[in-house]
Amino acid sequence: MSSETPSSSSYVAQLAMVGKFSLGRLVRRPQTAPDAAAWRHLSRQLLLLGAVGVGTILLLMLAFDAYEIGLMPARGTPSLWPWRIVTEFGQDEYVISVLAVGVVVTILIAPLWPEATRSRLLNFATHMQYFFFAVVTSVLAAQVLKYIIGRGRPFVGGKANAFNFDPFNGTPAYFSMPSAHAVTAVALAFAVAAVWPRLRIPMFIYAVIIVVSRLVLLAHHPSDVVAGAVVGLVCAMLVRYWFAARRLGFRLSKDGRIVPR
């Protein structure tokens, strides 16, 4: 005789259905036909962002990076302990883990609620999935770029040298560009603000604080955090387009903009 009760069997069946629905729709074919206006709008935004970003990075490398790191307190300075705590809130492993738990927990509890509440929970799970993939894709892109670029962190080599590059070095000392913390914080800030516009200012402040912490702790040059911000924005915008094309949390408006549903 099976020890599984009818209620537990029903929960498992509903959980399987909810899980299949929540995850399967992420890879389904777009519900919205390819929109030339939306893609042109996004392409222009990405090209402008890339141009401004690259220009700013080059300018900082040439005129400001070496000067700025010389102004920062030495590594290990005891008074920097608050910044060491603050910077952990931009650690990619922690942020990704929290978002993953949020997605899983929401899916696990959804079958326990009535249909109306379940629908709201699944909408929330969709938002969490967007946050998760916006950050994950950004971090993965950043790791590839770090390896390829191979920029030395501040004072690696013994002096303030903004042009200390060793491509494909693969060691943490040469993983300075782009800043993974900046990537994580900016991607998360953009994603949350895209879903809940009223949180734009708090999320902007969060991202700025994380970026500043990386500079104060001499983990990165200013151009590294700008590069991280650009990578985070680009990836979060592309993931948003993917969701909008499938009408998951977003939709494509007639003028080509992507807006929350």
Q: pLDDT (tens digit, 0 to 9) for every residue of the chain, 261 residues total? A: 444 444 666 877 766 776 666 676 777 777 655 567 788 889 999 999 999 999 999 999 999 999 999 999 998 899 999 999 999 999 999 999 999 999 999 888 877 777 777 778 888 989 999 999 999 999 999 999 999 999 999 999 888 999 999 999 999 999 999 999 999 999 999 999 999 999 999 999 999 999 999 999 999 999 999 999 999 999 999 999 999 988 888 988 877 788 888
* pLDDT value of position 66: 95
**225 closest CA partner among 178, 171, 162:** 178
Which CB contacts under 8 angstroms, 24+ apart, belong to 59-63? 60/221, 60/222, 60/223, 60/226, 61/162, 61/163, 61/221, 61/223, 62/162
Residue with tokens 């629908």, as numbered in its chain:
119
CA 170 to chain centre: 22
Confirm whether 218 is domain-assigned: yes
Name the strand (E) or helix (H) holding 252.
strand 250-252
Confirm whether 158 is domain-assigned: yes
Q: What is the distance between the alpha carbons of residues 151 and 220, in angstroms, rounded to a whole number?
A: 10
- Contact by Cβ (8 Å): 138, 235: yes
* pLDDT value of position 2: 45
Percentages of the chain per state (helix, strand, coil), in multiples of 5: 70, 5, 25
Range of the domain at 78: 38-260
Q: Assign 250 to helix, strand or coil.
A: strand
Residue with tokens 């259905």, as numbered in its chain:
17
Confirm whether 59 is domain-assigned: yes
Confirm whether 129 is domain-assigned: yes
* pLDDT value of position 99: 97
Kind of pairing, strands 250-252 and 258-260?
Answer: antiparallel
Confirm whether 21 is domain-assigned: no
Confirm whether 233 is domain-assigned: yes
- Contact by Cβ (8 Å): 171, 146: no
Confirm whether 224 is domain-assigned: yes
Neighbours of 208 (CB within 10 A): 15
Torsions phi, psi of 258, nearest 5?
Answer: -105, 125
* pLDDT value of position 39: 82
Confirm whether 256 is domain-assigned: yes
* pLDDT value of position 116: 72
Give the total number of structural domains in the chain: 1
CA 22 to chain centre: 21
* pLDDT value of position 8: 65
* pLDDT value of position 3: 47
Q: What is the distance between the alpha carbons of residues 243 and 252, in angstroms, rounded to a whole number?
A: 10
- Contact by Cβ (8 Å): 82, 71: no
